Copies of this chain bind each other. A is one copy, B any other.
Amino acid sequence: MESTSTELSCGSCALSRICLPAHLSARETRILAGAVERGRELQSGARLIRAGARMDALYVVRSGSAKSCGVMNDGEEYVRAFNLPGEVAGLEGFADGHHTCDLVALEPLRYCRIPLGRLERLMETLPGLRREVLRLLGQSLEEAQRMRTEVSMVDARGRLASFLVDLSRRLERRNLPPMHFRLSMSRRDIARHLGLTLETVSRSLGAFRSAGWVEVRARYIKLLQPKALAALLAH
């Protein structure tokens, strides 16, 4: 069942400046909106995409958050990305038409779905949409490559600082309080995302707290000196 309080089309969606229609004309947005399906609300832990499944659509987080994750052949979980409202997931499926990782809700989640067939047909006639999909893929690629060099060249605290600052920046773009927020993911998820152990994440957070750069109360984080955090990356 659809909640009646939510917007009915991309054009009036609060996320339109951030989401797929970001660079589309009014006309293109209207046409795209006709192809978008709205999913019902999912519970925390629900699996929206399954690794190995045929790619049949793009998924966009509408509210809540999710993680893109999978398991290595030794059974260890890894977390490729966290997805906030307005972010598109499942792009890696373009490689061979199958998804390679799961998309799992971290909290109650609403989402939109764009069937692949309709997207491809729309890309034929909407040059703006073509460019936008290429832009999204390019951004994800750039992000993944940047993260890869970060994992191999930046130490534990630097990576955690980078994570917090990046999260803050993404919240800000969504008009959510960027300096005081709740982490929807566990320390373990953060660790798996940054290539660390949960103990190291916890200790690094502790170090930031001792330095007076953050306040930490369970999953609630307040950034007191974001500049100090960002400075960890410079070196």
Verify A141–B195 contact, CB threshold 8 A.
no
Closest residue of B by beta carbon distance from A99: B142
Verify B144–A94 contact, CB threshold 8 A.
no
Residue among A120, A144, A233 with the highest chain B CB neighbour number at 10 A: A144
Q: In the complex this chain forms, how many copies of it are found?
A: 2
Residue in B73, B130, B148, B194 whose beta carbon sits within 8 Å of that of A123 in the complex: B130
A107 to chain B, nearest CB (A): 23
Residue numbers in B under 8 Å from A73 (CB-CB): 233-234
A158 to chain B, nearest CB (A): 10
Query: How far is it, in angstroms, between the C-alpha of A194 and the C-alpha of B141 when the chains are bound?
Result: 18
Query: How far is it, in angstroms, between the C-alpha of A105 and the C-alpha of B162 when the chains are bound?
Result: 32
Query: How far is it, in angstroms, between the C-alpha of A137 and the C-alpha of B143 when the chains are bound?
Result: 13
Q: Write 10 A-B pairs (CB below 8 A) sorted by A numbering.
A: A80-B148, A92-B142, A93-B138, A94-B141, A120-B130, A124-B127, A133-B134, A137-B137, A141-B141, A148-B151
With A137-B138, A138-B137: A145-B76 Cβ-Cβ less than 8 Å: no
Verify B138–A94 contact, CB threshold 8 A.
yes
Q: Is A211's beta carbon under 8 Å from chain B?
A: no
Residues of A within 8 A of B (CB): 70, 72-74, 76, 78, 80, 91-96, 100-101, 120, 123-124, 127, 130-131, 133-135, 137-142, 144-149, 151-153, 194-196, 233-235
Main secondary structure of the interface of A (DSSP, over half): helix
Verify A153–B233 contact, CB threshold 8 A.
no
Residue numbers in B under 8 Å from A147 (CB-CB): 148
Verify B195–A153 contact, CB threshold 8 A.
yes
With A144-B148, A235-B74: A134-B137 Cβ-Cβ less than 8 Å: yes
Verify B152–A91 contact, CB threshold 8 A.
no
Verify B100–A152 contact, CB threshold 8 A.
no
Verify B94–A152 contact, CB threshold 8 A.
no
Closest residue of B by beta carbon distance from A137: B137
Residue in B74, B130, B195 whose beta carbon sits within 8 Å of that of A234 in the complex: B74
Verify B78–A135 contact, CB threshold 8 A.
no
Verify A141–B74 contact, CB threshold 8 A.
no
